[in-house]
Amino acid sequence: MLRTLRVAIYRDLLLAMRRPAEVLTALAFFVIVVSLFPLGVGPEPQLLRTIAPGVIWVSALLASMLSLPRMFAADHADGTLEQMLLSAAPLGGIVVAKVIAHWLVSGLPLVLMSPVLALQYDVEAHSLAVLPLTLLLGTPTLGFVGAIGAALTLGLRSSGVLLSLLVLPLYVPVLILGAGAVDMVSAGMTPQGHFLLIGALLVVSAVFAPWAAAAALRISAE
């Protein structure tokens, strides 16, 4: 099982390296959207500090959705998905590997860039340290939940729009908790409760989402 995970992750990372434009699209979108808000709302420091967690989290959420339709699309197009379905390895494990690879390519760069972009909003140092931690816990959850939507809409026309309608309501709790944790630190309170809830969402999604996505892939492949 572990060998299957390593091979699947390595394969997806290798394919992503051969298509760098697709990888950089989500990161460029994230940087552009976050950078545009200070130009639109004005240079008021207090206002910028107030909206910073929400803006960065919403931008990261939307950026992570850009690459969701491609999570299984290439495998479906070239017949690899059928081989995965016939493989002796559990399909849920392969889905876990694909989500991890997807996060390494599209989620981790957002986490690393978030403190740099938060400087535009005059975010305080203690809030600046918490923001990437919330994204580090929250973005994998977005990937696991998004895998279900990507599997359900695989091969459909206008799948991107339908995928957004499916997963956006499920992303709301992660968004609220992630931005709320930074707000709690800014208000001088502990964000421990928010972190525990985000961690719980990550555990639940990591346990159940791969098998739900595997069932959806079997339906889509029929």
CA diameter of the chain:
59
Query: Residue 3: its pLDDT value, please?
Result: 80
Helices 159-186, 45-66: axis angle to 10 degrees equals 150
pLDDT in tens, the chain (222 residues): 678 788 888 888 888 888 887 778 889 999 999 999 888 888 888 888 889 999 999 999 999 888 888 888 878 877 778 888 887 778 888 899 999 999 999 899 999 999 999 988 988 888 888 999 999 999 999 999 999 998 888 877 767 778 888 899 999 999 999 999 998 998 888 889 999 999 999 999 999 999 999 998 888 777
**How far is it, in rounded angstroms, from Cα 165 to Cα 159?**
10
pLDDT (0 to 100) of residue 75: 81
pLDDT of residue 140: 94
pTM, 2 dp = 0.90
Which pLDDT belongs to residue 86?
A: 80
Domains contained in the chain, number: 1
Domain that holds residue 92: 2-221
